[in-house]
């Protein structure tokens, strides 16, 4: 019997055991659901109104089918790409997510460290629960930090954030332009999500249900919008008061002259808006509908890649987010003309499932999926995928 069956060693560390049993992003999502209070999980998992855009984003990636080439010697595969002048080992970046320290106390720093360990850029949100200086100060080596800006009603405060990002070595400024008003996130409204959590019957029930989460939270520093120190505490629902419905292209012009580094515009830009962004000096576009959290029924960003690439030409950096849950999604994105995919929920599920190690797990799984998909497709480099991509995919419907 011993010759036939080798007993597997038992992993004593609970987090490592749980993560090792996750084999794709939906496994991580399932563990996250089990380990996180419902209002927090819903804040991540939920989207605006009827959540049609959020579901549509995931479905749109999956509508594509591969047309593989065989006998192409795929022993060696080069997945690296250059994004805004920096080489990264896989075409992935970690996108900005507000309040990340609420998902798990490892928070923004844990995500940034995991990204850096994988050689990938991390984007800190304006609405982060860890400050610009704190994240930069916690990193070792040469991390590729990007900063995401919401153009606030208070323009001098926004300008302050931009210069703090520059002073602290953030290389890229990502300006989000789809949040002129808050999206109507029904799950948050129903759950009465407030920050910091208020002692309601709801909260008490979720404390009882997820004691591990609460113990961790209570042993760390209080949650707040760390980049707005000195401002009265607010709720996630009310934080939308920061945003300005009056933003225009002249704000982009102002930012272009203020920010010396690389500039990306993030939002659901069609060909005309993308061209305008580039004319005003943007170095890149991040096609996004905010994961369906803003305008419900907004077009899936993956469907904008080909027309926007056509409009802006081959050299403008084109990133895409919203709906990436598998390495094959990134292969589709590159085949259609994107330079890299940006992650949101995919890494947050990992974070909720197991902290920083869970983000590592998400990145490792996505990378392995990407490599295997490229090899089975008969492609040996990300550059080749970008070049020949349109011959390698077809619409499945
Ligand atoms: C919990 C959560 C918080 C987010 N916060 C921000 C933010 O502060 N700024 C921003 O530009 N985008 C924010 N986003 C949007 C992400 O950057 C990204 O566009 C989106 O998550 C991509 O969709 P996906 O999660 O379906 O992949 C957030 C997304 C989530 C899930």
Rounded average pLDDT per 10-residue block, the chain, 397 residues: 74 94 98 96 98 98 98 98 98 98 97 98 97 97 96 94 98 97 93 74 81 90 85 62 91 98 97 98 98 98 98 98 99 98 98 98 98 98 97 93
Ligand 1 near 284 CB (within 6 A): no
Residue 353 lies in a domain: yes
How far, CA to CA in Å, does 113 sit from each of 88, 151, 300, 310, 340? Answer: 15, 27, 30, 35, 20
Report the pLDDT value the prediction gives residue 6, as an integer from 0 to 100.
75
**Residues 204, 208, 212, 213: what is their CA dihedral angle, to the nearest 10 degrees?**
-30
Residue 136 lies in a domain: yes
Ligand 1 near 288 CB (within 6 A): yes
Residue 2 lies in a domain: no
Ligand 1 near 268 CB (within 6 A): no
- Rounded to 5, what percent of the chain is helix, strand, coil? 50, 15, 40
d(CA 275, CA 62): 27
Ligand 1 near 324 CB (within 6 A): yes
Pairing of strands 393-395, 122-124: unpaired
Residue minimizing CA distance to atom 29 of ligand 1: 97
Residue 3 lies in a domain: no
**Which among 58, 94, 95 is the best mutation to test ligand 1's pocket, defined by most ligand atoms within 8 Å of the CB?**
95
**Which among 293, 319, 326 is the best mutation to test ligand 1's pocket, defined by most ligand atoms within 8 Å of the CB?**
293
Residue 10 lies in a domain: no
**In the chain, beta strands by DSSP E:** 64-66, 81-83, 86-88, 92-94, 122-124, 145-150, 172-176, 262-267, 284-287, 317-320, 340-343, 393-395
Tell how far CA 106 is from the center of its chain. 16
CATH at 286: 3.20.20.70
Report the pLDDT value the prediction gives residue 193, as an integer from 0 to 100.
83
Nearest to 152 by CA among 78, 231, 70: 231
352 and 41 Cβ atoms separated by less than 8 Å: yes
Distance 172 CA to ligand 1 centre (A): 17
Backbone angles phi, psi at 89, to 5 degrees: -70, -25
Pairing of strands 317-320, 262-267: unpaired
Q: Return all residues near 276 (Cβ < 8 A) that are at least 6 apart.
A: 249
| H runs (alpha helix) in 210-266 | 211-219, 249-258
10 burial level (CB within 10 Å; 0-12, 13-18, 19+)? exposed
Q: Structurally, how many domains does the chain consist of? A: 1
Report the pLDDT value the prediction gives residue 194, as an integer from 0 to 100.
73
State yes or no: cis peptide before 257, omega within 30 of 0: no
Residue 11 lies in a domain: no
Distance 267 CA to ligand 1 centre (A): 11
| Two tokens, residue 244 | 């300005």
Residue 12 lies in a domain: no
Question: Which ligand 1 atom is nearest residue 174's CA?
Answer: 11
Q: Classify each residue of 213-237 as buried b or exposed e, where b means 16 or more C-beta atoms within 10 Å of its C-beta.
A: bbeebeeeeebbbbbbeeeeebebe
Report the pLDDT value the prediction gives residue 10, as an integer from 0 to 100.
84
The separation between the first and the last C-alpha atoms of the chain, rounded to the nearest angstrom, is 50
Positions marked active-site: 290
d(CA 140, CA 87): 18
Domain that holds residue 298: 21-395
Report the pLDDT value the prediction gives residue 231, as an integer from 0 to 100.
66
276 and 249 Cβ atoms separated by less than 8 Å: yes
Helix 327-336 and helix 345-377, axial crossing angle in degrees, nearest 10? 70
């Amino acid at each position: 019997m011993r010759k036939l069956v080798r007993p597997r060693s038992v992993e004593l560390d609970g987090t490592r055991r749980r993560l090792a049993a996750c084999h794709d992003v939906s496994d991580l999502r399932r563990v996250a659901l089990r380990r996180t209070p419902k209002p927090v999980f819903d804040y991540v998992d939920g989207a605006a109104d009827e959540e049609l855009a959020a579901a549509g984003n995931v479905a749109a990636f999956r509508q594509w089918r591969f047309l593989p080439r065989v006998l192409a010697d795929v022993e060696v595969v080069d997945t690296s790409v250059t994004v805004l002048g920096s080489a990264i080992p896989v075409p992935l970046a970690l996108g900005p997510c507000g309040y990340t320290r609420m998902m798990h106390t490892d928070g923004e720093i844990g995500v940034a460290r995991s990204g850096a360990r994988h050689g990938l850029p991390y984007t800190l949100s304006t609405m982060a629960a860890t400050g610009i200086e704190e994240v930069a100060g916690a990193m070792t080596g040469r991390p590729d930090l990007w900063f995401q800006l919401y153009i606030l009603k208070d323009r001098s405060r926004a300008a302050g954030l931009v210069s703090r990002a520059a002073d602290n070595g953030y290389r890229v400024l990502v300006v989000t332009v789809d949040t002129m008003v808050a999206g109507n996130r029904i799950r948050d409204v129903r759950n009465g999500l407030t920050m910091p959590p208020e002692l309601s019957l709801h909260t008490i029930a979720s404390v009882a249900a997820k004691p591990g989460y609460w113990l961790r939270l209570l042993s760390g520093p209080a949650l707040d919008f760390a980049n707005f120190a000195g401002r009265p505490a607010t709720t996630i629902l009310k934080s939308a008061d920061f945003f300005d419905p009056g933003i225009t292209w002249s704000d982009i012009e102002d930012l272009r002259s203020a920010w010396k580094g690389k500039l990306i515009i993030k939002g659901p830009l069609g060909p005309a808006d993308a061209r305008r962004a580039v004319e005003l000096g943007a170095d890149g576009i991040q096609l996004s509908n905010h994961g369906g959290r803003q305008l419900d029924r907004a077009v899936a960003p993956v469907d904008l890649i080909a027309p926007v690439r056509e409009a802006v030409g081959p050299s403008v950096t084109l990133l895409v987010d919203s709906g990436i849950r598998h390495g094959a999604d990134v292969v589709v994105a590159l085949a259609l003309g994107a330079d890299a995919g940006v992650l949101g929920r995919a890494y947050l599920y990992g974070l909720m499932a197991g902290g920083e190690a869970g983000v590592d797990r998400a990145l490792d799984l996505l990378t392995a999926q990407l490599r295997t998909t490229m090899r089975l497709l008969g492609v040996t480099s990300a550059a080749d995928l970008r070049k020949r991509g349109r011959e390698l995919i077809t619409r499945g419907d």
